[in-house]
Amino acid sequence: MALMSRGGRLRTGATVVAAVAAAAGMAAGGTAVAARTPHSTHFAKTGSVTVALDETFPGFNVLTSTDNNYDLAQVINALWPSTFITTNKLTVVPNTQLLESVKQVSKNPQTIVYNLNPKAVWSDGVPINATDFIYNWHAQSGSSKWKDKGGKPYDDASTSGYNQIASVTGSNGGHTVTVKFKTPFADWKSLFSPIVPAHIAQKVGWNTGFNNWRNVISGAWYEISKYKQNQFLVLKRNPKYYSTPANIPTINFSWVSTDDSEPTGLQSGELDVIAPASVSQSLVLQANRVKNTDHAVIPGLEFEHFDFNEANPYLAKVQVRQAIAYGTDRAQMIADTVGSMLKGTKPLGNRMLMPNQPGYVNNGKAYANPNPNKAKALLESLGWKMVGGYFEPNYGPEAGQPLTFTISSTTGNPIRQETEQLFQAQMAQIGIKINIQNYDASTLFGTNLPTGQYDITEFAWVQTAFVSGNESIYCSYTLSQLCGANWVHYANATVTKLVIAGASAVNPQAEINDYNRADAILWKDMVTLPLYQKPQYYAWTNKLGGILPNASSSGITWNINDWYLK
Amino acid sequence: MLSYLLRRLAASVVILLLSSMMVFLMVAKSGDPLATLRLNPHIPKAVIAARSAQLHLNDPLPKRYWIWISNAIHGNFGLTIGNQPVAPQLWSHMVVTLEMVLIATAIAIVLAITIGVLSAIRQGRTFDTGAAFTNYLFISIPVFVLGLVLKEFVAIPINSAIGHTVLYTIGQQSPNLSGGFFSRFGNYAGHAVLPILTLILVVYPSWSIYQRSSMLEALDSDYVRLARAKGLRPSRVLIRHTLRNALIPVTTVIALDFAAILGGAILVEQVFSWQGMGTWFLGGITNLDVNTVQAYLLVTAFFIVLFNFIADILYGVLDPRIRYG
C-alpha cells in the first residue's frame, strides 16, 4: 500500500491502480466476458484531446518509490494494463479486456486464478502472460532473493500483498496464472495493477529503465508518440491493442505549473480537461465561467482531520480529546471553508471509508453536533478549574496555567489556516487556549509528526478503494514496523487485532466489518477527529463525451478509452 | 584594464564559492528530501537506504559539499532526488530560460533607450509625460499580476475574436505540433509573445527612466553645448556626443539588473508554465533537492558575473578614458 502524495496530501491505501476497460458485467467470481465489438460507435479517425497535468515525474515506472505519483498514474492508465479497475462508483471490477476470467479458487491457502485474454500482447508483439505476473511479483515482493538489473535492490512504492505471495505459476501456455498466498490478503484485487512489461524491465531495469520513454511500450489502448519532459506527452492509439480500441486517436498531456492557470488554458482552447490538485473557491468560480465546458465537483476519497498527540500529558486523557471534539463545530468549519464549493458536505463519520464508498457507516453520531457544555463538564471531571476563562490542569508542566495546545498544519493552505482560526475561537469557548504554528509540508511530515513534535495537527489522508491501507495508521504505535504511520501514539490491542484481521480477511465484507468496528472504537477513544471529505473539481470542454470523474487514485483518465469526441 | 578584470574575476570566484556553500547548507539543513518515503511503512528499508546512500544523505555536510563541488568542477552536478542526472536537465531548462531572457532583454534595451532618449529630448511634453506614466505603471505592477492580466485581458479576447488560439498561455509549444516550418514557427511565436512581453514590460521602465535622466544630464553638459556651438549637425550631437556618454550609467544598471531579470523570469515561467530554469529551481526548493538548487545557483551566478564583465568591457568601448586609463 503506497502513500501517494498529491499537492502536499498523504495518500493511504493500495499502490496506484491503473484504470482499464470500464466494461462491466464480470464479477470476480469468474463470469465469462461479454462479447466485444471491433470498435465502439464513437470511434473517431481524427481528433485529439489535451489533458492538464500539474505534477512532474522523473520516469514512467509508477510502481517505484521515485515515480509513484497521481499524475503519472493518469498517464499509465492509458499505457499499461491492470487486472482490476476502480470505477467512478468506487467499486473494483475486473478488466474484462485483459482477463477472460478471474476467480479465488481456494481460501486456504488463498489462491487466485487469472485467465488472460490469449490475444493480449504488448505493443512490440510479445504476449502478456504469466512471465509478466511472475516478474511483477518478484520486483515488488520486498525479498532480497530477487534483484534489479545490476544487482541493485528493487525500488518499490509498495510491497503490500506481493510480500504475502508464496508462488505465481503459469499454465495453458502462460495464459492462465495461479497466485498462491502464504497468508491471506484481503485486497488481492489491488495486485498486478498496473503490470510492467517483464521482458523490457529485465533488459533495461525496473528502477530507472523506464526513465527513457522509448522503453515504455504499451499493453493498453495508447502508446507514447512524443515526449518532452515536464512539457508535453503525446499518446497515439496502440495499433497492436488486442481488444476494443480507444475512441479518440490522440491524447495530449500538457504540464501546467500552477493550478490557477488551468481555467485560463481551458478558456483559451489549449486544454480540454482539467483536474487541479488543489481546489479553491476562486479557481472553481473562474473555471465555471468558461463557456462551452462541463464541470463536476465530487467528494474525493480524501478527508481533513485533526490528530491528537497522546504523547502530550494532557491529550493522553481521553476526556480532553473528547472535550475538544465536543467543542469543535465541524459544520461551521465546513460552511466557512469548502461548503460553498460542494453543497451538502457534512461532518465525516468514519475514518476508514468515505460516504460514497460501499460499507460506509456513520460511527461519529455522538459528535454530530457541538456540545460546549458537555466539553466543559468533561474537563471539570478531571478536577480542573476554569480561571480567567481557561481551564488550568492540576498536574504536569502546565499545572496552574491555562490549558494550552498548539495546532500545526502545512503553510500556504488558506482553507487549513481558516479552519485553524475557527478551531482557536471554538476552543476558547470551552476554556482551551490554542496557538497556531504551521510548517512547510516536508518539515511537518518529515520531522514533526514522525518524531511526535506536535500537539494537534490538521492534514488530509487520501484513501483508495482498498480499506486495508488504513492498517498502518491505527494499529498500535508500539508495533513500529507495521504501524509506522500511527503518529498519535495510540495503542489499543482490540483495534490492532481488528485492522490486522481485516487486512487478512479473504471475504471483503468481513474486512469492511472489521475496519468499521475498529473505527467505532477510535471514535469512542477520540483518537483523531475526522472533519470533512475534500471536494475534487473537474472541468472539460463539452465537445468531449464519456468523461466520468473518479474520486479514487485512478483519477479522471480511468476510462480514457471510452472518452469520445461529440 | 586587464588587471582590473582579473581582480574582478578572482573576487567573483570567491563570492561564487561562498554563496554556493551558504545555499548548500541552507537547503541541506531545511529538511529531509526522502521524508515522504520514510513515512511509508510499506517501502522496504533497503530501498530508502539505497536512495540515501545514492544522494549521500548519511554523510556529514562538509563531505557532501566537497563531493558536490569536486564533481561540479568536472561538469557533473550529481543526481536529482528523482534519480536523474542534474546536468542534462540543467542544460535543457537553461536553453528555455535564455531564449526568453535574451530576447526580452534585447528588446527591452532598445525600447528603454528609445523611450528614454525621446523623453529627454521632449522633456515636459506629452510624450515625456505619457512615458513617465507608463513607466511607473509597469514598475508598480508585480510581474505575476502583469502576466495574469495579459493572459486574461489580451490573450483570451484576441483568441475569441479570431476564433482560434493564436496567443498561447501554456508552455513553449503545442504538444502535437506538426506541419511546415512556418506553421511551427507561428506556434513557437504564439507561445513566446506573452511571456517575453511580460518580462519586457517588467524590466524596461527602470532602464528607460535611467536613460532619460542620463540623457538630460548629458544634454546639459559643456561638451554638448560646445559641440552645438561648433555647428555640428543635431543628429551627430545627439548620437555621437550625448547618447554615447549617456549609455554608460545605463549599461551598469542593465548588467546589474541581470539577477533581477532572472528573478522575474522565475515568475513569468510559473505563470506561463514554461519549463525553464525558474520552474526547475522552484521544484528543487520544494523537493529539498540540493543538487538541483546548487546547479541553478552556480549557473545563475556565472551569468551574473558574465554580464558584469560585459558591462566592464562596454565601459571601455563607450568611454575611452576607462580603456586607456
Q: How many domains does chain B have?
A: 1
Helix, strand or coil for residue B207? Answer: helix
Cβ–Cβ below 8 Å for B273 and A59: no
User: Which A positions 268-297 lie with beta carbon below 8 A of chain B?
Assistant: 268-271
Distance CA A532, CA A274 (A): 23
Distance CA A464, CA A420 (A): 27
Q: Which residue has the higher pLDDT, A263 or B43?
A: A263
What mean pLDDT, rounded, does chain A reach?
88
pLDDT of residue A38: 64
Is pLDDT of A235 > 80? Answer: yes
Angle at A28 between CA A27 and CA A34, to 5 degrees: 45
The pLDDT confidence band at residue A258, using thresholds 50, 70 and 90, is confident
Cβ–Cβ below 8 Å for A59 and B172: no
pLDDT of residue A476: 83
- CATH no. for residue B175? 1.10.3720.10
Is pLDDT of A417 > 70? Answer: yes
Nearest to A184 by CA among A109, A96, A283: A109
Is pLDDT of A15 > 60? Answer: no
Q: Which residue has the higher pLDDT, B316 or A118?
A: A118
B43 belongs to a structural domain? no
Radius of gyration of the CA atoms of chain B, in A = 24
| Nearest CB neighbour to A3, from listed B40, B51, B168 | B40
Put simply, whether A265 touches B (Cβ < 8 Å) is yes
pLDDT of residue B41: 57
- Domain residues for the domain of B123 are 87-286
Q: Tell me, what DSSP letter sits at residue A154?
A: P
Distance CA A402, CA A437 (A): 18
DSSP states along A180-217: EESS--TTGGGTTSS---HHHHHHH-TTTGGGSGGG--
pLDDT of residue B257: 85
Helix A493-503 / helix A508-524 crossing angle, nearest 10 deg: 160
pLDDT of residue A66: 80
Share of chain A above pLDDT 90, in %: 66
Cβ–Cβ below 8 Å for B170 and A440: no
Nearest chain A residue (CA) to B37: A65
Angle at B74 between CA B70 and CA B75, to 5 degrees: 115
| Nearest CB neighbour to A142, from listed B31, B36, B44 | B44
| Residue B56: alpha-carbon gap to chain centroid | 32
User: Which A positions 66-125 lie with beta carbon below 8 A of chain B?
Assistant: 66-67
A462-to-A459, A473, A508 alpha-carbon distances in Å: 10, 12, 20
Q: Sign of the CA dihedral A229, A233, A239, A243?
A: positive
pLDDT of residue A13: 42
Instruction: Enter the C-alpha cell of residue B280.
Output: 526547475
Cβ–Cβ below 8 Å for B159 and A268: yes
pLDDT of residue A557: 96
Instruction: Choose from B27, B30, B32, B40 for mutation: most chain A CBs within 10 A.
Output: B40
Cβ–Cβ below 8 Å for A155 and B31: no
pLDDT of residue A9: 46
Distance CA A23, CA A33 (A): 9
Q: Which tens digit of pLDDT belongs to each residue from B313-322?
A: 777 777 766 6
Nearest chain A residue (CA) to B79: A58
Q: Which tens digit of pLDDT belongs to each residue from A451-480?
A: 888 999 999 887 778 888 788 789 888 876
Is pLDDT of A161 > 50? Answer: yes
User: Which B positions 178-217 lie with beta carbon below 8 A of chain A?
Assistant: none
B167 belongs to a structural domain? yes
Size of interface A-B (CB pairs under 8 A): 171
Residue type, B244: R
Put simply, whether B293 touches A (Cβ < 8 Å) is no
Q: How many angstroms separate the CA of residue B33 from the nearest CA in chain A?
A: 7
Cβ–Cβ below 8 Å for B44 and A153: yes
Domain residue extents for chain A: 301-536
pLDDT of residue A37: 46
Are β-strands A404-408 and A433-436 bridged in parallel, bridged antiparallel, or unpaired? parallel
On chain A, the residues whose CB falls within 8 A of the CB of B33 are: 442
Distance CA A546, CA A272 (A): 13
Distance CA A50, CA A270 (A): 7
B137-to-A141, B151, B259, B267 alpha-carbon distances in Å: 62, 18, 22, 19
Average of pLDDT values for A538-558?
Answer: 93
Put simply, whether A159 touches B (Cβ < 8 Å) is yes
The pLDDT confidence band at residue A155, using thresholds 50, 70 and 90, is confident
Is the confidence metric ipTM above 0.85 for this complex?
Answer: no
pLDDT of residue A482: 66
Q: Which tens digit of pLDDT belongs to each residue from A27-37?
A: 333 433 333 44
Average of pLDDT values for B187-198?
Answer: 95
pLDDT of residue A11: 44
| Nearest CB neighbour to B32, from listed A250, A258, A446 | A446
Distance CA B219, CA A376 (A): 80
On chain A, the residues whose CB falls within 8 A of the CB of B151 are: 261, 264, 268
B192 belongs to a structural domain? yes
The pLDDT confidence band at residue A330, using thresholds 50, 70 and 90, is very high
pLDDT of residue B10: 82
Instruction: Choose from A62, A140, A159, A264 for mutation: most chain B CBs within 10 A.
Output: A264
**Under 8 Å between Cβ of A312 and A455:** yes
Q: Which CATH architecture has domain A301-536?
A: Roll (3.10)
Q: Which residue has the higher pLDDT, A209 or B182?
A: A209
pLDDT of residue A31: 35
Look up cell 495508521; give the residue. A473
